[in-house]
């Protein structure tokens, strides 16, 4: 089996109670079957904790009124780990923020940027993001109805996208446009349409407004979106482009950071188009996410009236990622919207 690892995958350590945004809050944590059976049959002194804190019907940990996992203590530590050890964790908790995409005899691993530690690593990295590959003797069953030919072409296309996005000799906006044009033509070939040159320009406000169609997972982030929209677009189009240019001048590192974000999303999700043929949408989502995060950086900069450091940029990145990557429904909806909007 081929296994690929993005960036500094192995060098991750959870900072537990020192984390500025715990992963143990704000979302329903699903329990895998093996872990559920372990909790159900457990007869130790923590049995009452399991009975009280697990929703056996939904196969999730219960949540407190504030959205915290029922096992999360006030000091930021996990009651289960403190009482039994990390070996008792379900698959979701044990793996996070380690993310895996599955293909026939291929596994691709990354660290989700919804984790503050992973987001900070990505934002601070100046070197071009790369992945390592290894192969072992492990094999698995054949996936039924999987189009291996399409997948292999997507892997090759992804390498080409990496080269375009990481070409720092040209502006990032030009790199993004080149990727979108190329992937739209690829999508047309798949769908049986003729290729053409796309000159359509979608207004930034229109693209930003797509975020409000997603299901809000954290109310404070949705409030920030409304505030950001007012800051960015409340004074007209000319003002928006003025503050965008000023932000770029004061934060010259923005291009590298948007590059890293887009490469992260391309690596993690692009080849998943082998399952649904949404090739353009998968590429567009990576570019779109990087651009939206940039706009949120601009809004936060104008709100604070001071330049943003890497920690503040990383905070916006992981909060944005949680709204998207912690919801399959939001991921699918954004994919569908971008497939039709032709950004």
pLDDT in tens, 103-159: 999 999 999 999 999 999 999 999 999 999 999 888 777 777 888 889 999 999 999
Is there a cis peptide before residue 275, judged by omega within 30 degrees of 0?
no
Query: What pLDDT does residue 155 have?
Result: 96
Q: What percent of the chain has pLDDT over 70?
A: 97
- Summarised one tens digit per residue, pLDDT across range 85-97 is 999 999 999 999 9
Q: Which of 147, 181, 145, 146 is nearest to 161 (CA)?
A: 181
Query: What pLDDT does residue 109 have?
Result: 97
Kindly list the strands in the beta sheet with 131-135, ordered across the sheet, starting from the edge strand earlier in the chain: 98-103, 106-111, 2-6, 131-135
* Residue 199 in this model has a pLDDT that exceeds 60: no
pTM of the predicted protein model: 0.91
Tell me how far apart the alpha carbons of residues 17 and 11 are, in angstroms, rounded to a whole number: 19
* Residue 290 in this model has a pLDDT that exceeds 60: yes
User: How much is the mean pLDDT over the chain?
Assistant: 92
Average pLDDT (281-308) is: 96
Are the C-beta atoms of 208 and 229 separated by less than 8 Å?
yes
Query: What pLDDT does residue 26 have?
Result: 80
Which residue in this structure is represented by tokens 């780990």? Answer: 81
């Amino acid at each position: 089996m081929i296994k690929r690892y993005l960036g500094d995958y192995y060098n991750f350590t959870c900072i537990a109670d020192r984390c500025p945004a715990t992963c143990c809050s704000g979302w329903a944590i699903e329990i895998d079957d093996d872990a559920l059976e372990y909790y159900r049959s457990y007869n130790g002194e923590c049995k009452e904790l399991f009975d009280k804190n697990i929703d056996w019907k939904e196969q999730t940990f219960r949540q407190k009124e504030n959205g915290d996992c029922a096992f999360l203590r006030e000091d930021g530590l996990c009651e289960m780990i403190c009482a039994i050890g990390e070996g008792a964790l379900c698959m979701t908790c044990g793996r996070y923020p380690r993310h895996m995409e599955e293909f026939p005899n291929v596994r691709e691993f990354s660290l989700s940027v919804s984790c503050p530690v992973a987001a900070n690593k990505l934002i601070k990295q100046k070197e071009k993001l790369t992945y390592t590959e290894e192969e072992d003797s492990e094999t698995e069953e054949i996936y039924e109805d999987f189009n291996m030919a399409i997948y292999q072409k997507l892997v090759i296309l992804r390498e080409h996208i990496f080269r375009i996005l990481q070409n720092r000799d040209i502006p990032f906006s030009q790199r993004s446009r080149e990727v979108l044009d190329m992937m739209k033509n690829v999508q047309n070939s798949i769908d049986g349409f003729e290729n053409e040159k796309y000159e359509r320009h979608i207004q930034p406000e229109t693209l930003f407004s797509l975020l409000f169609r997603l299901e809000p997972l954290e109310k404070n982030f949705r409030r920030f979106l409304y505030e950001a929209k007012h800051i960015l677009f409340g004074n007209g189009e000319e003002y928006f482009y003025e503050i965008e240019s000023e932000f770029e001048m004061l934060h010259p590192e923005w291009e590298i950071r948007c590059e890293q974000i887009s490469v992260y999303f391309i690596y993690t999700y692009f080849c998943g188009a082998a399952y649904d043929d949404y090739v353009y949408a998968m590429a567009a989502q990576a570019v779109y996410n990087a651009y939206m995060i940039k706009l949120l950086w601009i809004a936060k900069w104008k709100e604070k009236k001071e330049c943003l450091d890497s920690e503040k940029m990383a905070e916006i990145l992981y909060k944005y990622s949680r709204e998207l990557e912690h919801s399959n429904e939001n991921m699918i909806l954004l994919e569908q919207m971008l497939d039709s909007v032709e950004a």
